[in-house]
């Protein structure tokens, strides 16, 4: 099975303190460290496991600047066979549809049976997977937490629904799936693994290579424009109880009784 996984380089929320810039144009990026978007990591692990079971290859692709190459290498160190970097100045500030259009152009150059994305990105809106499927007219399922390969043309997929229940569906290939965390346990990639793939060639494709009209992507092509970042003002309605543990308990019981939570 030929599998393509779309990944993204994001500032890891666990290892950064995200602060909004004073002028509201962006977040402070001076001290940020980046990693592979967590959901994407699960998608790549799933792709590798499927490939190891039924054969084929795994390709990872990302839209980003040249530094995004590091996340491709990390995923290749995990076991992905190929990496493709989609990078061009003209791609900068693309909206979700723009990113989907760039990915679509690359995907149409190859022949993939299965396209995976993360369910969402730490710094994203969870929209590219769905748009990509629609633009390519492929079946789409989101928030997938289980994949069983039935045969060459069918997958059985699962999704968690309310209350921890599981919903099972069947989907025909080729298709696009967005992957939820917890679908597997992604393997560890150490420095040694990354060094092993350090010299593997990763092709870079830009506007010209993809045959995209420059005004369909990037800032000019964006239909959704970001306006502002700000920290919401603290609202009313929250009260921090103070005092000794006993006093706090008493006050809490009092509040609960007053609001009808305790009878």
Task: Say if strands 82-86 and 114-118 run parallel, antiparallel, or are unpaired.
Answer: unpaired
**Interface region with another protein, contact rule CB under 8 A, candidates 11-19, 53-61, 104-112, 234-242:** 11-19
Biggest CA-to-CA distance, the chain:
70
Restricted to residues 29-88, the positions that interact with another protein (CB under 8 A) are: 31, 33, 35, 78-79
Q: Is the Cβ of residue 14 or residue 240 nearer to another protein in the bound state? A: 14
Q: What share of the chain is helix, strand, coil (3-state, %, to 5)?
A: 35, 25, 40
CB 11 within 8 A of CB 80: no
Q: What's the rounded Cα separation, in Å, for the pair 253 and 116?
A: 49
Distance CA 263, CA 248 (A): 19
Compute how many residues bind another protein; rule: CB under 8 A: 21
DSSP annotation of 211 reads T
The one segment of 8-16, 154-162, 168-176, 218-226 that binds another protein by CB under 8 A:
8-16
Q: Residue 36 Cβ, how far from another protein at the closest point, in Å?
A: 10
Gap between the Cα atoms of 130 and 39, Å rounded: 15
Nearer to another protein (CB atom), residue 14 or residue 234: 14
Q: Is 187 in the site for another protein (CB under 8 A)?
A: yes
**CA–CA gap between residue 191 and residue 97 (Å, rounded):** 35
Smallest gap from residue 121 Cβ to another protein (A): 17
CB 8 within 8 A of CB 122: no
Does 185 bind another protein (CB under 8 A)? Our answer is: yes
85's enclosing H/E stretch is strand 82-86
How near is the Cβ of 247 to another protein at its closest, in Å?
Answer: 19
Stretch that binds another protein, among 81-89, 144-152, 168-176, 191-199 (CB under 8 A): 191-199
CB of 245 to another protein, least distance (A): 13
Q: Which of 163, 188, 234, 242 binds another protein (CB under 8 A)?
A: 188
Contact 176/212 with Cβ under 8 angstroms? no
- Segment near another protein (CB under 8 A); pick from 91-99, 108-116, 165-173, 181-189: 181-189
Provide the binding-site residues for another protein, judged by CB under 8 A: 12, 14-17, 31, 33, 35, 78-79, 185-193, 195-196
């Amino acid at each position: 099975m030929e599998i393509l996984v779309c990944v993204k380089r994001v500032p890891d929320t666990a290892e950064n303190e995200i602060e909004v810039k004073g002028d509201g144009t962006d977040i402070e990026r001076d001290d940020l460290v980046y990693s592979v978007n967590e959901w994407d990591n699960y998608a790549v692990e799933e792709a590798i496991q499927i490939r190891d079971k039924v054969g084929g290859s795994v390709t990872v692709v990302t839209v980003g600047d040249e530094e995004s190459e590091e996340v491709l290498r990390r995923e290749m160190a995990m076991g992905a066979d190929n990496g493709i970097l989609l990078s061009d100045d003209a791609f900068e500030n693309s909206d979700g549809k723009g990113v989907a259009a760039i990915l679509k152009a690359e995907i149409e150059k190859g022949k993939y049976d299965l396209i995976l994305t993360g369910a969402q990105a730490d710094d994203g809106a969870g929209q590219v997977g769905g748009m990509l499927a629609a633009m390519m007219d492929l079946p789409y399922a989101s928030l997938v937490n289980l994949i069983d390969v039935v045969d060459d043309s069918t997958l059985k997929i699962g999704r968690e629904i309310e209350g921890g229940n599981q919903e099972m569906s069947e989907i025909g290939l080729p298709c696009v799936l967005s992957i939820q965390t917890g679908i597997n346990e992604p393997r560890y990639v150490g420095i040694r693994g990354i060094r092993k793939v350090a010299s593997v060639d990763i092709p870079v494709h830009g506007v010209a290579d993809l045959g995209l009209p420059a005004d369909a992507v990037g800032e000019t092509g964006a239909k959704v424009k970001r306006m502002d970042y700000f920290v919401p003002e603290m609202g009313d309605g929250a009260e921090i109880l103070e005092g000794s543990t006993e006093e706090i308990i008493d006050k809490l019981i009092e509040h609960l009784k007053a609001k009808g939570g305790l009878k």
